[in-house]
Amino acid sequence: MPRVTIQTQPFDWAQEVAQLHAQDSRVGAVCSFVGTVREYSPPAEQGAASSDATIANNIAYNAVHTLELEHYPGMTEKSIEAILDLAQQRFGIFASRVVHRVGVLQPLESIVLVAVTAAHRGQSFQACEFIMDYLKTQAPFWKKEHTPQGPRWVDARVSDDAALARWGVHAPNA
Amino acid sequence: MIRTTPFSAPAAPLSAPLSTPLTLQLKYFASLREGLGVAAETWHSHAPTLGALRQELAARGGAYAQHLAPERTLRMALNQTLAEADTPLQTNAEIAFFPPVTGG
């Protein structure tokens, strides 16, 4: 099974995680993260500070009909492979897997899966978060939202750079 | 033993190119691709670095001047690896310019 797959079609994350675990009896922890398409996107400046209450009230939020994901074929796979190598070295995880969708997606659909196996839960939680923080700011994907007001490219967030900086990695994106 | 020649070699005229230009494959993505109306092109350049190449492209004017202007936050890749403005160029390199990434 490849470690990185970029695809337009949906993925079965339960199956992906089960396959990753496979028959590896060293594994004591399997951690996975699935990112999904929201129906509302936060306004550009307030994303990090916005609360769930704001989402519920739907005040300044933009309705999203569809999300379109563009990527840089070749570099995308290469950069995620490099991220997984880093995670492997840093946390001593056994196996890792990233599936990322591109093309046109609807609210509720899954966009990305990150899954890792490790001996202990701490490593697996950390590796999963590390991989996502890296991917969000260093892998060449771009989101375009289609809203009733028209299409708009999603802005990168400084809060995502800060998330990566927690790991001691300073590679600003936004 | 050093041998000197009686005549110095003729100097190259100042107007001659310093060297053969580099052949570069350029790629643009997302809002930059849309703004330029170009996804990929071949470009010949004497620019020594990625940053110098960006300036050279911006000097083409029009949409290039607008979208590659210094105040625009753009990221760059050399042969599919993120790179900085001081990264040296090499011939037949694949160079990509794109806005900050927003995947995940």
What gap in Å lies between CA A143 and CA A145, rounded to an integer?
6
- The pLDDT of residue A136 is 98
Question: Which helix H or strand E contains A151, and what residues bound it?
Answer: strand A150-153
- Residue A49: pLDDT band (50, 70, 90) is very low
- The pLDDT of residue A57 is 53
A140 to B29: CB separation less than 8 angstroms, yes or no = yes
Strands (E), chain B: 22-28, 40-45, 75-78, 81-83, 94-98
pTM of this structure: 0.87
Tokens of A145: 């939202």
- Pick the residue from chain A with its C-alpha nearest to B77: A75
- The pLDDT of residue A54 is 52
Question: Which residues of chain A make contact with B25, given a CB cutoff of 8 A?
Answer: none
Nearest to B26 by CA among B8, B45, B40: B40
**How close B10 comes to chain A (CA, Å)?**
47
Whether B99 and chain A come into contact, CB under 8 Å, resolves to: yes
Nearest to A173 by CA among A154, A158, A153: A158
**pLDDT tens across A58-104, in order?**
555 678 889 999 999 999 999 999 999 999 999 999 999 999 999 99
Question: Which residues of chain A make contact with B99, given a CB cutoff of 8 A?
Answer: 142, 153, 156
Average pLDDT, chain A: 91
- The pLDDT of residue A62 is 73
Please report the number of interchain residue pairs, chain A to chain B, with beta-carbon separation below 8 angstroms: 77
Q: Look at strands A95-101 and A4-7 and give their pairing.
A: parallel
Task: Check the CA dihedral A45-A150-A37-A69 and report its sign.
Answer: negative
Note the helical H segments in chain A: 13-21, 52-57, 75-91, 121-138, 158-165
- The pLDDT of residue B18 is 63
**pLDDT tens across B74-97, in order?**
999 999 999 999 999 999 999 999
- Pick the residue from chain A with its C-alpha nearest to B40: A72
**pLDDT tens across A5-31, in order?**
999 999 999 999 999 988 899 999 999
Chain A residues with CB-CB distance to B under 8 A? Answer: 35, 69-72, 74-75, 78-79, 100, 111-112, 132, 135-144, 153-156, 171, 173-174
Q: Complex ipTM above 0.85? A: yes
- The pLDDT of residue B1 is 43
